[in-house]
């Protein structure tokens, strides 16, 4: 077998490998784009029960875990009384650090760069460019369900 004949399978192997890698990268982008392009209702389909209404005190956020397709996600869930229910992703919108709720101030504080949000997730100060991401929350009977992104 000549040197050229040996090189052909190697070249073909590399072409297939590079093509396969390109396909994997392309599919990853398609998946990410779907998160942003799909309407909120499409992301809201995966409802999970996370507790009972009586587990929540009105006006006091409770940190809950939602098991999404990408793993466990932390969400602060609040019964706002007459204003309904609110679920907020616990990731800061600046660089995704986990925010903590400070009950004495009724604010979410980001430990990384000092971002501060109000009870409803609106930015009060610091570098966060936008409010905390809202998630689907529904009450059915006496059960509380969480779902995907709303914003
Ligand atoms: S990551 Fe929260 S303020 Fe920077």
Residue 44 above 70 pLDDT? no
> Options 2.102.10.10, 2.60.40.420, 2.130.10.10, 2.30.130.10; which CATH number does 41-149 get?
2.102.10.10
Q: Which residue has the higher pLDDT, 72 or 100?
A: 100
Ligand 1 centroid–CA 66 distance in Å is 22
C-beta of 128 in contact with ligand 1 (< 6 A): yes
Residue 23 above 60 pLDDT? no
pLDDT band, residue 1 (cuts 50/70/90)? low
C-beta of 126 in contact with ligand 1 (< 6 A): yes
Q: State percent of the chain over pLDDT 70.
A: 70
* pLDDT value, residue 150: 83
Spatial CB neighbours of 17, under 8 Å, sequence gap ≥ 6 = none
Atom from ligand 1 closest to the CA of residue 99: 2
For range 78-107, the mean pLDDT: 97
C-beta of 74 in contact with ligand 1 (< 6 A): no
**The Cα angle at residue 53 between residues 44 and 93, in degrees rounded to 5:** 45
Residue 13 above 90 pLDDT? no
């Amino acid at each position: 077998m000549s040197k050229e004949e040996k090189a052909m399978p190697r070249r073909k192997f590399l072409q297939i490998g590079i093509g396969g890698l390109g396909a994997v990268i392309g599919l990853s982008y398609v998946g990410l784009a779907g998160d942003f392009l799909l309407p909120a209702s499409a992301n809201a389909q995966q409802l999970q029960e996370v507790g009972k209404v009586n587990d929540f005190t009105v006006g006091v956020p409770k940190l809950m875990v939602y098991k999404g397709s990408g793993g466990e996600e932390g969400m602060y869930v609040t019964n706002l009384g007459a204003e309904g229910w609110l679920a907020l992703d616990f990731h800061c919108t600046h660089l995704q650090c986990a925010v903590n709720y400070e009950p004495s101030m009724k604010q979410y504080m980001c430990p990384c760069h000092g971002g501060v949000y109000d009870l409803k997730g609106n930015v009060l100060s610091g570098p966060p460019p936008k409010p905390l991401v809202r998630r689907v929350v529904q009450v059915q009977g006496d059960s509380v369900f969480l779902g995907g992104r709303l914003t």
